[in-house]
């Protein structure tokens, strides 16, 4: 008896489930951080306000990734290569786990268990991954110019995420000095929160790099960018209301976010510069 599997549908379900997993962890790292700390056995960690702040920034990256995966699930054949962002996410997590094992901050059994689960997850993802469709779109001269600048901007943003990820992990001391938070990294729990935040930014850098390779195909996935900036803005509003940011800092952050979002919108080719129908055929 032959059993056929509709990989496109199942890959869509897989991406949706992973999006909800990311969203759940984002909430447990921010809105419900008390419950999240109890669930993962980190109750002592959140006694430090700096640790909570960095975990909130980590939650922003998770929320953005949740939006990315959910958006990709709407057309899994078009966005089949989103799987490489998932692979990057698992590989980065595995690298940090191994690093913690080598430094003596983790034990062998949980690290091996985690690596096994990550390998299984990647295996399932590749099994369900459908064949990616070819996308044919024609752009006007103006659309092509916008596309060129959009690719450049997204590539620069990927580099920005990568640099900040390195400053929150490999070069944490230098990053803390650059941002004027040298005292924060003296706390072991805050350092761990920085590492978690770095993992999120490494994955975002991978996602933006994928989008930059083909802005026409992956343009809709830039909901990732809107989600990241929107969640960061909400975080800024909250910190401002708690007087943890000065009025100047708060204003600069919001102006920067608004400017980057408007620039991204402007650089996207408009519908008038595209044909009314998009042809998608198997290569």
Neighbours of 193 (CB within 10 A): 27
Q: What's the pLDDT at 140?
A: 59
Residue among 62, 86, 74, 77 nearest 224 (CA): 62
Half-sphere exposure at residue 264, Cβ-oriented, CA atoms within 13 angstroms: 25
Q: What's the pLDDT at 278?
A: 44
Phi, psi of 246 (to 5 degrees): -75, 165
CA distances from 273 to 147, 228, 242, 262, 280 (A): 11, 27, 45, 18, 18
Q: What's the pLDDT at 103?
A: 80
Q: What's the pLDDT tens digit per position in 145-175?
A: 778 888 999 999 999 999 999 999 999 999 9
* DSSP classification of residue 274: S
The answer to whether 78 touches 280, Cβ cutoff 8 Å, is yes
Q: What's the pLDDT at 277?
A: 43
What three-state secondary structure class fits 2? coil
Between helix 108-128 and helix 83-102 the angle, nearest 10°, is 170
The answer to whether 217 touches 135, Cβ cutoff 8 Å, is yes
Neighbours of 41 (CB within 10 A): 8
User: What is the gyration radius of the CA atoms in the chain, in angstroms?
Assistant: 20
Please give the span between the terminal C-alpha atoms of the chain, in angstroms, as a whole number: 30
CB contact burial 82-105 (16+ within 10 A = b; e otherwise):
bbebbbbbbebbbebbeebbeeee
Average pLDDT per run of 10 along the chain, which is 283 residues long?
A: 70 96 94 89 82 91 96 94 95 90 82 92 94 72 75 94 95 90 87 93 96 89 89 76 66 79 73 45 43
Query: The whole model's pTM is what?
Result: 0.87
Residue among 109, 83, 132 nearest 283 (CA): 132
Residue among 79, 15, 65, 82 nearest 216 (CA): 79
């Amino acid at each position: 008896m032959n059993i056929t599997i509709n990989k496109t549908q199942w890959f869509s379900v897989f991406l949706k489930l992973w999006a909800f997993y990311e969203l759940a962890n984002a909430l447990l790292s921010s809105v419900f951080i008390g419950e999240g700390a109890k669930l993962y056995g980190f109750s002592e960690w959140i006694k430090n306000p700096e640790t909570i702040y960095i975990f909130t920034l980590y939650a922003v990256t998770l929320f953005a990734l949740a939006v990315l995966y959910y958006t990709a699930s709407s057309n899994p054949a078009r966005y089949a290569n989103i799987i490489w962002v998932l692979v990057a996410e698992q590989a980065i997590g595995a690298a940090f786990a191994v690093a913690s094992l080598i430094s003596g901050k983790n034990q062998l059994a949980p690290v091996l268990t985690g690596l096994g689960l990550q390998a299984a997850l990647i295996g399932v993802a590749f099994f369900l991954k459908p064949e990616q469709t070819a996308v044919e779109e024609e752009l006007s001269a103006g659309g092509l110019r916008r596309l060129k600048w959009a690719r450049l901007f997204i590539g620069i943003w990927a580099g920005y995420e990568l640099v900040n990820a390195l400053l929150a992990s490999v070069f944490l001391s230098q990053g803390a000095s650059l941002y004027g938070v040298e005292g924060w990294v003296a706390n072991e729990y805050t350092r761990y929160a920085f590492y978690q935040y770095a993992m999120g930014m490494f994955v975002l850098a991978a996602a933006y790099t994928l989008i930059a390779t083909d802005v026409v195909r992956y343009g809709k996935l830039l909901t990732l960018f809107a989600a990241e900036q929107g969640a960061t803005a909400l975080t800024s509003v909250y910190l401002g209301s708690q007087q943890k940011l000065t009025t100047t800092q708060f204003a600069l952050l919001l102006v920067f976010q608004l400017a980057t979002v408007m620039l991204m919108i402007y650089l996207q080719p408009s519908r008038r510069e595209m044909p009314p129908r998009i042809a998608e055929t198997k290569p």
